[in-house]
Amino acid sequence: MDVETMIATFEAERERALVLARGAATPEELEAARVAVLGRRSPFAEAQRRLGALQPEDRRRAGKVANEAREAIVAALATRASELEAAAEEQLVAADRIDLTLPGRRPPIGSLHPLTIIEDEVVEAFVAMGFRVVEGPEVEDDWHNFEALNIPADHPARTMKDSLYVDVPGQPGLLLRTETSAAQIRTMESQGPPVYIVSPGRVFRRETPDATHLPVFHQVECLVVDEGITFADLKGTLEALVRSLFGPSRRVRLGPAYFPFVEPGAEVGVSCFRCDGAGCRVCGNGWIELLGAGMVHPQVLENCGYDSERLTGFAFGMGIERVAMLRWGIPDMRLLIEGDVRFLEQFGGAA
Ligand code: DAH
């Protein structure tokens, strides 16, 4: 190969390289172009290998052309590489582009659960009257849930039919508390008189859910023990509670009832919010049964080491679900636990 042919090759290859580089549409095509024009088996490399065989003068002349051609080729490849890179970047940005003018999606604002609303109201009414709020454990023992509450071993409430027992090796008789009344015992065991407490919480019974029963529901227990507490104090407290829950025109009615831990025991009804005692579809006879109450049984006081000669007290226990159903006319208790937003958003208590 003579020197002129060689120089012509370098120059031709330079032109070819510029065309290939510009035509490369992807990094892969560009790499293929680089191999084609500068690779070991390219015409350029072939000619370059033969430079050594030339006379010194020719070699210098051809070498200079080769160097310039190579530099131009490398520069063209680099230019194209950065063009391709910029284009790829632009594409990525375009794919990720956010339209700031689109209206946003507002996250729905939650509201308090109806049971929370009622529980808060009851607790607040009692705190305003100077009561303390206590919480007992959900897993109870036989003593606090039954024995100390004067519920004898043969009482039907003890049977597996009503209670959910918890198997803990070495600790027989543990169960999920069946009523918040257990908190009465724990309170009196841990402090002396006077006692003015409310205790809200979950209770558990072996029930199949239906419109008026759930296996897990909520109660608020109230206990007062002091010197000179009478049935009139119970009635006055209930009236204050009922009016704060259902409005100032509600009347309270007490009827006889039996609960082992009170004597006398009473069933407390409230005049129907719909017909005010006349009798209607909601209440039947004008009254709605609301809770159980009574004067604390002397034996219960003694069980907790309180002097039943000197002290008297009253207690009551109220179902929160029942109050919520009455307040809002909820026809089925199961609605309260299904978590359906269409139901829950109707109560609107700010979270
Ligand atoms: N513990 C009772 C229940 O679950 C309700 C009750 C009745 C509580 C009378 C009391 C009471 O404190 O005196 O049905």
Q: Whose CA is nearest to atom 13 of ligand 1?
A: 293
* Cα dist from 105 to 96, 102, 108, 348, whole Å: 19, 9, 9, 21
Please tell me the predicted confidence (pLDDT) of residue 350.
54
Pick the CATH number of 114-344 from 3.40.50.11810, 3.90.79.10, 3.30.470.20, 3.30.930.10: 3.30.930.10
Residue ranges per domain, the chain? 3-96, 114-344
Please tell me the predicted confidence (pLDDT) of residue 309.
97
Q: Evaluate if residue 10 carries a pLDDT over 70.
A: yes
| Dist. CA 317 → ligand 1 center (Å) | 4
Q: Give the residues surrounding ligand 1 with Cβ less than 6 Å away.
A: 179, 181, 221, 259, 262, 292-294, 315-317
pTM for the whole structure: 0.70
What CA–CA distance (Å, rounded) separates 47 from 51? Answer: 7
| Dist. CA 221 → ligand 1 center (Å) | 7
| Dist. CA 344 → ligand 1 center (Å) | 28
Q: Is 296 left (phi over 0), alpha (psi -120 to 50) or beta?
A: beta
Structure-block tokens of residue 33 = 């172009």
Q: Evaluate if residue 159 carries a pLDDT over 80.
A: no
pLDDT tier at 161 (50, 70, 90 boundaries)? Answer: low
